[in-house]
């Protein structure tokens, strides 16, 4: 009897010792995550002071919620960048069925070689950085670019059109670029979903007299719908990221399109580092984070209720 007890305590002690040792091993990584991901949260305190770079925080006046009130004062700007952000987000959500379409088209190809070529090539742009994409766009769409040259040679236009400086169509243009970059990559997940569909369903549809369109409509599309809905919900959760985050709009930013391309993240960066109003920029960024996290919780609870599964 006693032997068993002492054995147990020994094991327990040993586990504790091992557990402590593992904890020590894990600690550096936990500290790294704390420093790079959690410590910046402490910077939210700057939103409540009138902070000027170079002056320590204890020497600048505490202003309470004044910086948040400034958002109402600057409501014209805030509403403008919010409209840009939401417009770009909605356009990218509107484009979200395109990868489904591409996946269906690729699946319908019979030649496996052609299939592979299409898949390999369309996935490539996802791994090309925005700086390079900006350079490619410049080569294609600027006043001296290929497109203008071709149209002028064909006599379709008299004067070159600077597409990169076209304020009216900048939302559409940026969305098209984002589609170009991501459509192939986003199609992969649907290709997997389609290959997971039970082939008996297709056979049954055929027996019932369904042609290709009908079996796509009644078998393939319902088969990928759950995946589509999860991704759609996630994209609603990142509504304030304007489709792709700030990098894309930072590289394509120029004075001609500034009014329409300045998304929330870009506005925060410019208010902070360019105009040097750190506190106001922090306040805006803080609200953005809070709203984003709330959105994520909302879509997650919708997902839980509708699909009985959480997405985060």
Nearest distance from C-beta of residue 132 to another protein, angstroms: 5
Distance CA 18, CA 168 (A): 64
Q: Return the number of the residue (1 or 43) whose C-beta is nearest another protein.
A: 43
Find the shortest distance in angstroms from Cβ 304 to another protein: 15
Closest to another protein by CB, 42 or 72 = 42
Instruction: Tell me the CA distances in angstroms from 213 to 6, 217, 218, 257, one per residue in order.
Output: 72, 6, 9, 42
* Closest CB 1 distance from another protein, rounded Å: 27
Closer residue to another protein (CB): 1 or 53: 53
CB of 113 to another protein, least distance (A): 13
SS3 35: helix
Which residue number, 92 or 148, has a Cβ lying nearer to another protein? 148
Q: Name the one residue in this structure whose structure tokens are 């995946």.
A: 227
Q: Is 87 left (phi over 0), alpha (psi -120 to 50) or beta?
A: alpha
**Distance between CA 89 and CA 168 in Å, rounded?**
17
Least distance in angstroms from the C-beta of 73 to another protein? 19
Task: Compare residues 129 and 222 and give the one whose CB is closer to another protein.
Answer: 129
Specify burial of residue 88 (Cβ count, 10 A radius: 0-12, 13-18, 19+): buried
């Amino acid at each position: 009897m006693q032997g068993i007890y002492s054995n147990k305590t020994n094991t327990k002690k040993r586990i504790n010792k091992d557990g402590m040792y593992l904890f020590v091993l894990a600690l550096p990584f936990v500290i790294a995550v704390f420093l790079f991901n959690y410590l910046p949260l402490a910077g939210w305190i700057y939103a409540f002071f009138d902070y000027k770079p170079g002056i320590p925080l204890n020497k600048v006046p505490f202003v309470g919620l004044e910086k948040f009130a400034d958002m109402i004062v600057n409501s014209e700007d805030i509403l403008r960048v919010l409209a840009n952000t939401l417009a770009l987000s909605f356009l990218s959500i509107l484009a979200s069925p395109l990868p489904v379409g591409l996946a269906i088209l690729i699946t319908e190809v019979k030649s496996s070689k052609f299939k592979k070529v299409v898949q390999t090539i369309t996935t490539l742009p996802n791994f090309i950085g925005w700086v390079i994409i900006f350079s490619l766009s410049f080569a294609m769409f600027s006043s001296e670019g290929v497109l203008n040259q071709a149209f002028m040679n064909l006599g379709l236009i008299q004067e070159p059109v600077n597409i990169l400086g076209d304020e009216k169509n900048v939302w559409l243009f940026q969305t098209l670029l984002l589609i170009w970059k991501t459509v192939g990559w986003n199609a992969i997940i649907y290709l997997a979903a389609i290959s997971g569909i039970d082939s008996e369903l297709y056979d049954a549809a055929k027996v019932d007299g369904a042609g290709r369109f009908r079996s796509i409509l009644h078998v393939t599309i319902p088969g990928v719908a759950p995946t589509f809905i999860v991704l759609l919900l996630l994209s609603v959760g990142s509504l304030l990221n304007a489709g792709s985050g700030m990098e894309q709009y930072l590289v394509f930013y120029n004075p001609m399109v500034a009014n329409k391309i300045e998304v929330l993240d870009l506005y925060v960066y410019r208010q902070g580092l360019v105009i040097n109003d750190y506190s106001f920029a922090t306040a805006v960024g803080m609200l953005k984070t809070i709203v984003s996290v709330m959105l994520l919780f909302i879509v997650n609870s919708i997902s839980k209720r509708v699909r009985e599964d959480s997405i985060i």
